[in-house]
Amino acid sequence: MTDYTPIATTASTQSAKDIRGPSPLVAIENEAPPKLIVDPPLAEPLSQGRVFIQYRTENLRVLPVFGKGALDVSPRIGHIHITVDDAPWHFVDASGETIILVGLEPGLHKVLIELADPTHKVITSETVTFTLPELKR
C-alpha cells in the first residue's frame, strides 16, 4: 500500500478541471450555455494555400454521437457544421480537431462554423473570412 500525499499547488497552477472542463463521468446540473470560440486561419499554412482553422468549445464536448437520445447526455455533446463560401451544402465534423481546407482558389473566402446539438440543431455560430494568396510557382 502506498501513502498518497497531495502536493501543494501554487495559485498560478491550473487544475485538470480548469483546463479540460468538468469530468465527462458526472452529470452537470444547470449547464451553462455552449460557446464556440474560433481563431483566424493559421498564417503559415494560409501563405501556402492551405486553410487551418482552430476552434474550441465551452460547455459542450465535440463527439461523433448523433440522434434525439443524445440530447439528454450530460455534460452536453454536439458537433460542428462547416459551410464554405455560402455553398448550399455543409459538411459535419465531430473530431474536435483543427478544420483543414485545401483546394480553394486564391481570393476572398468565408467559412461558417456552426455548433450543433446531436440532432443537427444549430446552437451558435462564427464566421471566418480570409484571403487566400496567389501562390508563386
pTM of the complete model beyond 0.85: no
User: Among candidates 30, 130, 115, which has minimal Cα distance to 79?
Assistant: 115
How do residues 38-52 score in pLDDT, each as one tens digit? 999 999 999 999 999
How do residues 17-34 score in pLDDT, each as one tens digit? 887 777 777 777 888 999
C-alpha span between 112 and 126 (Å, rounded): 6
CATH code, residues 16-132? 2.60.40.10
How do residues 51-104 score in pLDDT, each as one tens digit? 999 999 999 999 999 999 989 888 899 999 999 999 999 999 999 999 999 999
How do residues 110-132 score in pLDDT, each as one tens digit? 999 999 999 999 999 999 999 99
Interior angle at CA 108, CA 103 and CA 111, nearest 5: 70
C-alpha span between 115 and 76 (Å, rounded): 12
